[in-house]
Chain A
């Protein structure tokens, strides 16, 4: 697209073009970044300064009182921990159940294969509005309302993880597994000793996406959990918003503390996640 062939004076034009590209991209980055900047600085401003007009670009007096206010209003650390361990456990269970299933769908022949695979795909695309009420009923019937079981058990199987790993296993060459089978090994051996070790990157990516999905999910916990000490972070933030005593800087302190950890983790893990997002999107 940087066509310079017919330009009699190519160098200045190429340079100008490159700089205008960088300028537009920088403007876009500022638009992405400013909300975060606003959130972080406001979390450190005194209420007086936060509401002053015109707004200050940088806190005049740094204060931690908003964070104190946050911890006084909701059990923030408890909620953070709840979000973390449930997301960690659910993502691990997703891979534990999803990887063998994905492998079987990609490689083995067995009766009803396309039906079972179709069920996984259907679970992935059906709008939540359809399933949420019946699943809620199931949970209540099992006596799991307001318990972690309600959060964890319905999420053990994840059609999306299965689909993503299925795409990956299909792209692996078959020759290594065939040599295991010819030597008299079982399919399980082929999965455990050949397929899984060669796909650690894909497994990590699927795990990360599953973790992120659970970390962000808020509607289901909002519906099935009630006690404050069991609440997860997104619901806690919603709850914080509904407290009359809470002002905007406290809210921003809560938002900052819940947003920053995943941003930092993402910066280190971005390569895995981006590849995974491309794979699942392009092939989905």
Chain B
């Protein structure tokens, strides 16, 4: 715009335009300055710093020694780290599909209700765990998952002694997955509800005239139409699950034994309990690399199943 005016109008205008330009640039930089300073000091600088630390043997107190790739090669042979990655993957397989299915089903049921108020009621209710302090609800579930807790009440009514969910290596990851679905379903539900509201009604009407049954409508129209949101929720919950930490720290601290030691928990322990800060940051970089690879992979895969308008 300014370029074309500059060629057709005299010098005066041109200098006015460029001073406006300069003023705009000054304002822009001034407006972003406070926020950008904060981001640079407390996010970008630490990212660079942690990359440096990951190549040292730094333990938190003494001066660090440069050890090159040692932390990274060590990670590849660290059976505890590898096992914790395996457990994290098991947890992810337990939590992510369960969360997705629960959220899609509940969201489409809510969306099928007629009264706006009833819709809002259910949506609000399912979202409640999201606005509570995670530590408090994790503590609560720790009580619920005891052998005498209410989660075992149905088993007890059938005369079966339910397990102490968090005390057995066989059930501990399932229990934490159930908790995280309980806690996180609400946010996926509102995303799916927003997506479902945008599916054009005419699509259903046309299919209904052809006599399609509700399940077929859901499978052939609803799911493809909300597939971008399924993709989004899938990515968000994968990232969340692969970094599961807070629930583990509060409920089990990684136990019994190491049976709920996830990778994020292992990194935390390595850094803040054993003070191997160099090694912990190297593990953190490996985790992030894995997350990036996974997201890129999903991005590639989405082309085959995500349907964009």
Binding site for B on A (CB under 8 A): 1-3, 5-6, 18, 21-22, 24-25, 28-29, 31-36, 38-39, 42, 51, 53-55, 96-98, 100-101, 103-105, 108-111, 113, 116, 119-120, 122-123, 126-127, 129-135, 137-138, 153-157, 159, 162, 186-188, 191, 212, 215-216, 218-219, 223, 233-235, 237-238, 241, 248, 251-252, 254-255, 258-259, 262-263, 265-267, 270, 273-274, 277-278, 281-282, 284
* A-side contacts of B232, CB under 8 Å: 281-282, 284
Interface of A is mostly: helix
Bound Cα distance from A54 to B190, whole angstroms: 37
Q: Which residue of chain B lies nearest to A208 when distances are taken between CB atoms in the complex?
A: B131
Chain B, range 232-271, C-beta contacts under 8 Å to A: 232, 236, 243, 245-246, 250, 264, 267-268, 271
Provide 24 A-B residue pairs closer than 8 Å at the C-beta atoms, listed in order of the A residue. Answer: A3-B214, A3-B217, A28-B106, A36-B128, A104-B32, A119-B43, A122-B43, A123-B39, A127-B288, A129-B287, A131-B50, A133-B281, A135-B42, A157-B42, A162-B35, A187-B24, A255-B137, A259-B132, A263-B131, A270-B127, A273-B127, A273-B131, A277-B127, A282-B229
Q: Which residue of chain A lies nearest to B205 when distances are taken between CB atoms in the complex?
A: A5
Chain B, range 121-153, C-beta contacts under 8 Å to A: 122-137, 139-141, 143-144, 148, 150, 153
Name which of B65-73, B80-88, B107-115 contacts chain A: B107-115
Max chain A C-beta neighbours (<10 A), residue from B24, B148, B209, B287: B24
Chain B, range 20-68, C-beta contacts under 8 Å to A: 21, 23-29, 31-32, 34-47, 49-50, 53
Known A-B contacts: A100-B35, A127-B291. Give 13 more (CB < 8 A): A24-B105, A25-B110, A38-B144, A120-B35, A123-B44, A127-B284, A130-B47, A131-B47, A134-B53, A135-B46, A277-B130, A278-B194, A281-B187
Q: Is the CB of A281 within 8 A of B236?
A: yes
The smallest C-beta distance from A154 to any residue of chain B, in angstroms, reads: 4
* B-side contacts of A135, CB under 8 Å: 42, 46
- Contact mask B271-304 → A, CB, 8 Å, 1/0? 1100001001101110110010000000000000
Q: Given A3-B217, A131-B47, A277-B187, A101 and B24 touching (CB < 8 A)?
A: no
* B-side contacts of A162, CB under 8 Å: 35
Q: Is the CB of B47 within 8 A of A108?
A: no
* B-side contacts of A278, CB under 8 Å: 190-191, 194
Q: Is the CB of A212 within 8 A of B131?
A: yes
* A-side contacts of B40, CB under 8 Å: 119
Partner pick for A156 among B38, B44, B125, CB 8 A cutoff: B38
* B-side contacts of A116, CB under 8 Å: 32, 36
Q: Is the CB of B23 within 8 A of A234?
A: no
Q: Is the CB of B25 within 8 A of A110?
A: yes
Q: Which residue of chain B lies nearest to A254 when distances are taken between CB atoms in the complex?
A: B136
Partner pick for A109 among B24, B108, B122, CB 8 A cutoff: B24
Q: Is the CB of A218 within 8 A of B135?
A: yes
Chain B, range 163-206, C-beta contacts under 8 Å to A: 182, 187, 190-191, 194-195, 204
* A-side contacts of B213, CB under 8 Å: 3
Max chain B C-beta neighbours (<10 A), residue from A132, A133, A188: A133
Q: Is the CB of A130 within 8 A of B281?
A: yes
Bound Cα distance from A188 to B31, whole angstroms: 9
Bound Cα distance from A259 to B46, whole angstroms: 33
Q: Any chain A CB within 8 A of the CB of B156? A: yes
